[in-house]
Amino acid sequence: MYASSTAAMSELVFYVNGKKIVEKNPSPTTLLADVLRYKLKLTGTKVSCGEGGCGSCTVMVSWFDRSTSKILHYSVNACIVPICLLHGLAVTTVEAVGSTKTRLHELQERLVSGHGIQCGFCTPGMVMSMYALLRSNPVPTELQIEHALKGNLCRCTGYRPILDAFRSFSKDSGCPMGDRCCRNKDKKNSSDVVENCNENKNESDMGKQELIFPSELQLSDVYDQQTLEFKSDEVTWLRPVCLKDLLLLKKQHPEALLAAGGTNVAFYLRNASREKPLVIIATTHITELRSFEENEDGFLVGAMTSMTLLENKLMSLIDKHSETKTRLYHSLLDALCLFGSPQIRNRATIGGSLATASRLADVNVLLLAAGSHVKIASTDGEREVKIHDFFTGKSTTCLKPNEVITDVLLPFSTQDEYCGFYKQSPRKDLTLADVNAGLLMEFEAKNSSTVKNAFFAFGGLSSMLAVAKKSSSFVIGRKLDGSLLNELMLSLANELDQFVSGDDAKSFKVAVAQGFMFKFFLKISHQRFPKLEFLRLFKEEERYLLSSQADLQQKHSGVQVYDIITNQSETDSVGQPVPHRYAKQCATGEAVFIDDILPSQGELYLTLVTSTKASAKILKIDPSKALAMKGVVGFLDHTSIISSNKTGLYLDEEIFATEKVDFVGQTIGAVVAESHEIARKAARAVVIEYEELQPITTIEDAISHNSFHSWPGDMGAINYGNVSKAFGSCDHVIEGELKVGSQEHFYMETNSVRVVPKGEDGEMDVYCGTQYGAGLQNLVASTLNVPCNKIYVHTKRMGGSFGGKEFRSYLITLPSALAAHKFNRPVRCALERRQDMQITGYRRAYLAKFKVGFNNNGKVMALDLDMYSNDGFHPEYSAGFMGQSLFYSDNCYAIPNIYVRGHLCKTNLPPTAAMRGAGVPQGLVICEYWMTRVAEFLKRPQHKIREVNMYRGGDVTFISVPIEDSMTRCFDEVLKQSNYEQALVNIENFNQQSAFLKKGIAVTPVKFSPGLPPSWCMAGAIVNVYLDGSVLLYHGGVESGQGLHTKMIQIASRVFDLSIDKIHISETSTGVIPNSVTTGGSSGTDLNGGAVLDACNQLMARLKPIKDSNPNGKWEDWVKTANEQKINLSASGYYSHAYKEDFDWKTGKGRPYSYYTYGSAVTQVEIDCLSGSYVILKVDIVMDVGKSLNPAIDVGQIEGAFVMGTGLYALEEHLFGANGHLETSGAGKYHIPTISSIPLEMNVSLLKDCGNPQAVYSSKGIGEPPLLLSNSVFFAIENAVIAARRQAGLSPDFAFNSPATTKQIQSACGLGPQHLLKSLVT
């Protein structure tokens, strides 16, 4: 098999956390994350997306570079690294960085104390990205720190506290000792503070804790020189160590894949539809492919050069040579800055990028424009081809089957040559381009303005890289002036139009490409002819348009303002910014999530078999191929049901589909096997035959087919006042509509469950990340036909939930319970990201049609509103959430006449789910949208129109809920904090001067009532005090990162006057707290806090006589005495909200909420009218949280919710195709905010002197209200677009829907070539 004369080894050797790992005949399909988690039991490394797109699985890989005699450390995504690539390397996981059992690493300590941890699922990956950076660069800059974290996603925190914690390691950061820093004192007097200095922390203290690189790998090159061969039934993995052997192998296996960095190999390894075995040849140790050579033509780079190493080499060359000679290298740095993530760049190679021939590869399009050369070798010899001839078609090259790329020539630029790289993508980081470009232009001679040569290449326009040959030829021989630019724009539009025919984003892509050319033209004119100013540019605009991508990177900052209570006991933690109780466990990877629970002997793994059709009859289910696979234990479908096949909130769904499927992702069956890998592979082998029917997938389809879910009872409309009469007396009436897109939860931990039969009497333990344990308990008991008292649901923590684990956790739990019952063995199921996104629900999409009547003073007098929601095939609490939308159709405004109606569209999409805000985010943005239309119509400042219409303290809403004066206080305070009036003037001045950049500003208020339906407003708790004085606390709420457990401990600490270190919460269990309601609606603290308070008060009442008799005693003394006196040291607490009134939909009377949480936000943005990209410059938030139980946690909730809402309103496109398939599935296609998406400056203040007598210790629920404030981002963007349209002379009436994506922004600005050229100086 092996072509080399050297015998191939079949033994894999690598190190993990200093321990030598030897794998004999490893399977080539095995990935590093699987080995770490399932074999080595190092579960600190998490798997979230499974495609290298989120950073949760980040680990550090180290190797000894013998060419430099240095140990190199770099971060990688363990979920996409084949284990066979690690021969002779050392892997470090979070477990080796620090531990609660020994000592936390300094970076873990700072992350904990800096409140950078909420759910904690992403935390180990964050730690490892930062750790790898510090091992390579002990004192990085702040920008380098931000850059290192751009491959890591977090859905909870909003990133700011993570950045703040880590930037303390920066050399830009001041010493935490401030003026007392040792560097500000005489050395002889500095000993008292030197230990706190950043510089010493970074280099001295931290160095004592680092894992030592294995000496075997440093002293011997034996592993570097070994040829390898690993085989499985499906894949053969070969690793030669010299070019000669590589070429022989490629001749022997011309169809073989080459694995250099291996960033794409994992996707091939997971592909089950192979007609013949796959051969992979690893090129990692071919020294000839890792060479560098500088010659007179340029820089010859070995094909195995990683993007990170290439970046470093280019920077060295730029330092060495003149600017004119390295212009291509500057542009390459621009491309690399936006290429993938740090983890991907550390592995991806330049040869691999070229070989994929991707139409979107950032490096490829630039090298194509620059005229690079590619060196190719085979057993037949060597050849060199121009890159223009290298790419031959859609993902194809001129490489023959037996050839490999050996080198790439990166040419030096000439004095008269200019090049540029440009990219537009939906999100700045971790995202493929919508459009990118490599542009080159060369002039005749020094100071000449005549074009000698040009080459314009574009990616993303068609199925392959597009070369604008006509436009490139058109400019040759022409002089660089306004006339040429004018004609070039028209030429480019006509030529590129042909490339993107049939593309639904055609006009956007062509316009963006023209914008790239405009920027390039501008760049050349300023570099070559600085005195030739044929364009009028505002200074700030000029800086933006002329700067490189690297130069545009900016740091993020923020200020958090809140009061800390000082006049209380040291052990009373209420009101203190206490870190998350289990933050240390999360930072060290010790926190156990569902799939981290170590498997029992004989444990089985389940994978769902789901529908691939949106509407179809099931003709045949054939699991025979799956059952024939080794390791498959069984298959379940509707014939496996013990009791009833009906399930769901309204028992209108089937556990397993019987005769028909109604949406893509509907469960048809389940495969049970001995491993995750086998179960997933076997599930793909199950054959389902369908007879397809015509699906309904959109709101518009549902309306035209009259397809709606029924409203229960009298729900569905609210008629307040007399709308018809009011319209007749209004000065103005306007009508319009708004679409609000759906949103995926994208919690970092996918839905997971582990079901363990206890072996007798039908008892089962269910370990599940669910918000509603009691509800799940009932469904499992019903499915197994056993009473609830034999089913125990346990939830220790969740890696995020946001409503997505409230009801639909049963999708995996019920099949797993059936399997556990059938086989009498533990069964677990952990959904892969793409399947989780397809089947588990999402935020509903809305269509609103409104009619608003108002007077000349801006006062709104009447609102007539229809809201349509796309609720999928089953109404998963659709009525309740649309009801919320109706209740909040007024937001913070007193409207005397309202008639609002909700329509629940029934479509062939997966059922929707609860999601943070539950109908309110849609209703509120709709309200703010028509309010903005009123302001625009009257041509008055938007904040003034909002002020005119706002409720005042003492008012009562149209649903009879009283308003507190803190609503207007928040609004007034945020205007003051943001210096709104002056900002408005500054933005207006900016927009008058800037043609291509526009700024926008918006202020929006919010009211939101934390709570659940009145019948659910109850909670239980049990508090146990042990003889050593320690306290074990149980309550019915679940921890998902919102800090609920921490706040419960703080409440207990106040009642007991006891240190929080003595109080512990283990888990939430239906076996301890029965009949608990769901943890949601921002009500967890209100309800469970009341129950904990009740239980603790009972215990303190029992202890009071003992304390009174021994007032100087200690807690432990009182507990011991109480036990001796046979006093019960366990108490069961209960709380039910005193407010029990509900809303009567028939009469329109009643009060559905007890109180509101209030807030206001001012957002300032800057948009690029040429591309549609935007930057959130500044956000100011003022929030009324009552008397905060924990201001640090509350601020964290505010920031995290705001950033999630930014995704909803301005980034995240959640799109289904007409066939019902989710088109934006997976981390690569669904874009949640990254570090680069957050506001450059974010200031949060908690309103002072607030209270709330209706909740524990006068606090308020806070998890959801801040999300609503982020609609201010949407309206600030729209405000900037309006300025652009005004400049372009376009109509002020235009469609602008949510989310405000880059495509929509660019299109709405309407700045085509005719508008660009208006700036020409004539």
Specify which residues 901 forms β-bridges with.
Answer: 717, 866
> Which letter does DSSP use for residue 111 in this model?
H
Q: Encoding tokens for residue 120?
A: 């904690």
The H or E element containing residue 781 is: helix 773-784
Residue partners of 1054: CB distance under 8 A and separation at least 6: 572, 573, 574, 1257
Angle 653-659-661 from CA coordinates, rounded to 5°: 55
Quick one: which H or E segment has residue 667? strand 667-673
> Of 879, 851, 868, nearest to 706 (Cα)?
868
Cα distances (angstroms) measured from residue 1004 to each of 1200, 1224, 1320 = 18, 30, 38
**Beta strand residue intervals within 1126-1173, DSSP E:** 1130-1136, 1143-1144, 1149-1150, 1157-1168
Q: Are 1254 and 1227 in contact (CB under 8 A)?
A: no
Going by C-alpha positions, the residue among 372, 298, 302 that lies closest to residue 335 is 372
Distance CA 822, CA 633 (A): 11
Q: Give residues with Cβ within 8 angstroms of 1196, minimum separation 6.
A: 115, 118, 156, 157, 158, 161, 1043
- Would residue 1264 show up in a list of annotated catalytic residues for this protein? yes
CB atoms within 10 A of CB 674: 15
d(CA 379, CA 245): 10
CA separation for the pair 786, 591 (Å, rounded): 32
Instruction: Tell me the chain's radius of gyration from C-alpha atoms.
Output: 32
CA distance 565 to 539: 47
Q: How many CA atoms lie within 13 A of 38 on its CB side?
A: 17
User: With contact defined as beta carbons under 8 Å apart, do 472 and 455 qualify?
Assistant: yes
Contact 254, 52 (CB under 8 A): no
What are the backbone angles phi and psi of residue 601, rounded to the nearest 5°?
-65, 130
The dihedral through the CA atoms of 302, 307, 312, 318 has a sign that is positive
* DSSP code, position 978: T
State how beta strands 557-561 and 1241-1246 pair.
parallel
Helix (H, G, I), strand (E, B) or coil at 1047: helix
Please say whether the beta carbons of 1187 and 1194 come within 8 A.
no
Out of 403, 973, 1264, 1278, pick the active-site residue. 1264
Residues in the chain: 1322
Distance separating alpha carbons of residues 457 and 357, to the nearest angstrom:
14
> CA geometry: angle at 849 spanning 845 and 850, to 5°?
130
Which tokens in the block code for residue 1224? 């934006």
Cα–Cα distance list, 103 to 99, 112, 362, 712, 834 (Å): 5, 13, 43, 57, 37
- For strands 667-673 and 632-636, give the pairing: antiparallel
Identify the DSSP state of 1216: B
Residue of 842, 893, 847, 839 whose CA lies nearest to 867: 847
> CA angle 1316-995-537, nearest 5°?
95
- Which residues participate in catalysis according to the annotation? 1264
